Amino acid sequence: MKDEDIKKYVKERYGNIAASQTSCSCCGEDTTEQAMKIGYTAEELKKLPEDAILGLGCGNPTALAELKEGEVVLDLGSGAGIDVFLASPRVGKTGKVMGLDMTPEMVEKANQIAKEGGYTNVEFHLGEIEDMPLEDESVDVIISNCVINLTTDKLKAFQEAFRVLKPRGRMIISDLVTEGELDPEIKKSFAAWSECIAGALEKQEYLNTIFLAGFEMLEIVTETDFQEPNIDSRLDGKIKSVQIKALKGCGSCPGTSCSI
Q: Is the pLDDT of residue 172 over 70?
A: yes
Q: Tell me the pLDDT tens digit for each residue of 73-110.
A: 999 999 999 999 999 999 999 999 999 999 999 999 99
Report the predicted TM-score, pTM, of the whole model to 2 decimal places.
0.91
Separation CA 256–CA 260 (nearest Å): 13
- What angle (nearest 5°) sits at the alpha carbon of residue 202, between those of residues 196 and 208? 115
The pLDDT assigned to 217 comes to 94
CA distances from 244 to 101, 108, 150, 210 (A): 21, 29, 17, 10
Q: With bands split at pLDDT 50, 70 and 90, how would you rate the model's confidence at 256?
A: very low
Model confidence pLDDT, tens digit, residues 14-63 = 999 998 855 444 444 688 998 999 999 999 999 999 999 998 999 999 99
Q: According to the CATH classification, is domain 3-247 in 3.40.228.10?
A: no
Q: How far apart are CA 51 and CA 112, in angstroms?
A: 10
- Segments making up each domain of the chain, as ranges: 3-247
Of the pLDDT bands very low, low, confident and very high (cuts 50, 70, 90), residue 254 is very low
CA 185 to chain centre: 25
User: Is pLDDT of 122 > 50?
Assistant: yes
Contact 101, 126 (CB under 8 A): yes
